[in-house]
Amino acid sequence: MTEQEKIELLITREFNGDITVQEQDMLKQWWQRSENNRELYEKQKRLIQAQLIMISQKRVNERRERTKTGVINNLLKRNRKVKQAVYSSLSILVVGFCITVLFFDQGLNQRDQLLAGTFKIEAPKGQTTSFTLPEGSEVWLNAASELTFGYDMENHTRKASLEGEGYFKIAHDKKRPFIVEGFKHKIKVYGTEFNVISNSQSQQYEVTLHNGSVGILSDADVELARLNPGQQYTTDADGQGMIRQVKDMAAISGWKKERYEFKDATLEEIAKKMSEMYDVEILIVNEKLKKERFRCVLEKHRSVIKTLKIFSLTSNLDYEIKKDVIILKRKDKI
């Protein structure tokens, strides 16, 4: 263990209130040795405080996620026993939920009644989530993403609307097609697995097919492209679509395991993902630094503090924390 690591450990113990008298004396002597040590001491304390806030928020989100999952399962179980009543609207957010019950005509078959509900599920910043829709399809939502699912009884179509990023494993049903609507295009699914990014704020639209087949549709339901496994459909700044072959499919859906791989990304893009992953505010003051490109891997099991230290050790980046904001900057020239 290096001296710096020993000092960081002592500061952590002091913060937690379990430091011994001897350790306290050692820390005090180190603190008195130089102004630089005193600055490092304050910086480490701010990092610990920020990390505690993040851990606390994560635990709250996990409890809410368990509550949400239980609500969905209980409601679906009850619906299977009801013949003449279904949930017409079910909005489930991580911060709460609202249930409205309406009665439908007896002519509807039981499966259509079950599918008639509308689900709205939101994954907040710092938290991914996964769930199974009533018709059997599996969905994973990345952090800061939202999915709305509903069943069009008139056209016998399963419809989902996505803002953010999601991975879909669609249950095969010839009689009930599955459509995923994004801010740019629609995706017609033919029984398959695929990843979608549909972000209206950043204007990013990307569909990556893992297996099966999907069609990219215009608003007028005209098929613009048909993807084969391993292909990705994206749109440029002008909205023009293009198809390319993806070499590393695992990197596309790695976020399901809370792992993000960047092979050539701007610091601004990486910081945005870190902000979503850890639910923290990250600021880059230097405009040129925002556009500098980096190669890195982000993993959720690694704390934000550890991630920042790795950046500092392997690049020209440094950081500081002011209140709850992480500021990324270039290292000072010595």
**Same-domain status, 309 and 160:** no
Cα angle, residue 39 at apex, residues 36 and 40 outer, rounded to 5°:
85
Provide the CATH number for the domain around residue 89.
2.60.120.1440
Please state, rounded to an integer, the average pLDDT across all residues of the chain.
Answer: 78
**Same-domain status, 244 and 263:** no
Q: Does residue 282 surpass a pLDDT of 90?
A: yes
Query: How confident is the model at residue 196, as a pLDDT?
Result: 97
CB contact set of 299 (below 8 Å; sequence gap of 6+): 258, 259, 260
pLDDT digits 0-9 by tens, 192-229: 899 999 998 888 899 999 999 999 998 888 999 999 99
Pairing of the two strands 281-284 and 293-299: unpaired
Distance between CA atoms of residues 149 and 305, nearest Å: 37
**Helix-, strand-, coil-residue percentages of the chain, each rounded to 5:** 35, 35, 30
Expressed in angstroms, the distance from the first to the final Cα of the chain is 26
Query: How confident is the model at residue 3, as a pLDDT?
Result: 77
Query: How confident is the model at residue 168, as a pLDDT?
Result: 96
Model confidence at 124, in pLDDT bands (50, 70, 90)? confident
Which of 252, 282, 302 is a domain's end point? 252
Answer for the pair 317, 331: CB distance below 8 angstroms, yes or no: yes
Pairing of the two strands 157-169 and 193-199: antiparallel
Model confidence at 140, in pLDDT bands (50, 70, 90)? very high
pTM of the model: 0.61
Position of tokens 């995923």? 180
Which of 225, 252, 279 is a domain's end point? 252
In a domain, 5, yes or no: no
Chain centroid to CA 133: 19
Neighbours of 197 (CB within 10 A): 19
Q: Does residue 305 surpass a pLDDT of 80?
A: yes
Interval 288-313 mean pLDDT: 89
Answer for the pair 162, 144: CB distance below 8 angstroms, yes or no: no
In a domain, 56, yes or no: no
Write out the residue range of the structural domain in which residue 216 sits: 82-252
Position of tokens 């008139």? 154
**Same-domain status, 211 and 156:** yes
Model confidence at 1, in pLDDT bands (50, 70, 90)? low
**Same-domain status, 307 and 221:** no
